[in-house]
Chain A
Amino acid sequence: MTERNPGFNTLAIHAGAQPDPTTGARATPIYQTTSFVFDDVDHAASLFGLQAFGNIYTRIGNPTNAVLEERIAALEGGTAGLAVASGHAAQVLAFHALMTPGDEIIASKKLYGGSINQLSHSFKNFGWNVVWADPDDISSFERGVTPKTKAIFIESIANPGGVIVDIEAVSKIARKAGVPLIVDNTLATPYLCKPIDFGADVVLHSVTKFLGGHGNSIGGVIVDGGTFNWSREGRYPMLSEPRPEYQGIVLHETFGNFAFAICCRVLGLRDLGPALSPFNAFLLLTGIETLSLRMQRHCDNALAVAQWLSSHKDVAWVSYPGLPGDKYNALAKKYVPKGSGAVFTFGLKGGYDAGVNLVSNVKLFSHLANIGDTRSLIIHPASTTHRQLSDAQKVQAGAGPDVVRLSIGIEDKEDIIADLDQALKG
Chain B
Amino acid sequence: MDHTSYPDSYIRGILNSVKIIAMVGVSPRENRPSYFAFKYLLERNYRMIPVNPGQAGKELLGQKIYARLSDIPEPVDMVDIFRASQHVMPVVEETLTLKPAPRVIWMQLGIRNDEAAALAEAAGLKVVMNRCPKIEYGRLSSEIGWIGVNSRTLTSKRAKIFGKGVQRMSLNRPSVQGGTTAADRATAAEE
A binding-site residues for B, Cβ under 8 Å: 1-6, 10-11, 14-16, 18-22, 24, 36-40, 43, 46-47, 49-55, 61, 63, 66-67, 69-70, 73-74, 77-83, 196-197, 225-227, 242, 246-250, 253-254, 256-258, 261-262, 265
- 1/0 per position for B97-140, CB-CB distance to A under 8 A? 00000000000011000000000000000000000100100100
Task: Name A67's closest neighbour in chain B (CB-CB).
Answer: B145
Cα–Cα, bound, A73→B148 (Å)? 8
* B178 interface residue per 8 A CB criterion: yes
B150 touches A80 (CB 8 A): yes
A1 touches B1 (CB 8 A): yes
**Residues of B62-119 whose CB lies within 8 A of A:** 109-110
Main secondary structure of the interface of B (DSSP, over half): loop
Main secondary structure of the interface of A (DSSP, over half): loop
Q: What's the nearest-Cβ distance from chain A to residue B76, in Å?
A: 24
Q: What's the nearest-Cβ distance from chain A to residue B187, in Å?
A: 8
Instruction: Give the contact-size bracket for chain B.
Output: 35 or more
Task: Name B186's closest neighbour in chain A (CB-CB).
Answer: A227
User: In the complex, which residues of chain A have a beta carbon less than 8 angstroms from the beta carbon of B151?
Assistant: 16, 70
- Which candidate, B4-12, B17-25, B45-53, is the interface stretch facing chain A? B4-12
> Quick one: given A53-B144, A256-B109, are A261 and B165 in contact (CB under 8 Å)?
no
A51 touches B168 (CB 8 A): no
A18 touches B150 (CB 8 A): no
B5 touches A2 (CB 8 A): yes
User: In the complex, which residues of chain A have a beta carbon less than 8 angstroms from the beta carbon of B146?
Assistant: 53-55, 61, 63, 66
Partner of B31, one of A55, A63, A196, A242: A242
Task: Tell which of B31, B40, B143 has the most Cβ of chain A within 10 Å.
Answer: B31
> Quick one: given A6-B177, A21-B161, A43-B167, are A80 and B7 in contact (CB under 8 Å)?
no
Cα–Cα, bound, A54→B165 (Å)? 12
Cα–Cα, bound, A246→B17 (Å)? 34
Cα–Cα, bound, A24→B156 (Å)? 10
User: In the complex, which residues of chain A have a beta carbon less than 8 angstroms from the beta carbon of B159?
Assistant: 18-19, 21
> Quick one: given A22-B161, A43-B167, are A248 and B31 in contact (CB under 8 Å)?
yes
User: In the complex, which residues of chain A have a beta carbon less than 8 angstroms from the beta carbon of B35?
Assistant: 51
User: In the complex, which residues of chain A have a beta carbon less than 8 angstroms from the beta carbon of B8?
Assistant: 3
Task: Tell which of B138, B151, B161, B180 has the most Cβ of chain A within 10 Å.
Answer: B151
User: In the complex, which residues of chain B have a beta carbon less than 8 angstroms from the beta carbon of A265?
Assistant: 147-148
User: In the complex, which residues of chain A have a beta carbon less than 8 angstroms from the beta carbon of B39?
Assistant: 46, 51
Partner of A54, one of B142, B148, B167: B167
B150 touches A66 (CB 8 A): no
User: In the complex, which residues of chain A have a beta carbon less than 8 angstroms from the beta carbon of B2?
Assistant: 1
B145 touches A254 (CB 8 A): no
User: In the complex, which residues of chain A have a beta carbon less than 8 angstroms from the beta carbon of B155?
Assistant: 14, 18
Task: Name B137's closest neighbour in chain A (CB-CB).
Answer: A53
Q: What are 7 contact pairs spanning A and B, CB under 8 A?
A: A14-B154, A14-B156, A53-B144, A66-B145, A66-B147, A196-B181, A225-B182
B157 touches A18 (CB 8 A): yes
Cα–Cα, bound, A1→B8 (Å)? 10
A11-B154, A247-B30 known, 17 other contacts, Cβ within 8 Å: A1-B5, A1-B6, A15-B150, A19-B156, A49-B30, A51-B40, A53-B138, A61-B147, A63-B146, A67-B145, A70-B149, A70-B151, A74-B150, A77-B181, A225-B181, A253-B33, A256-B110
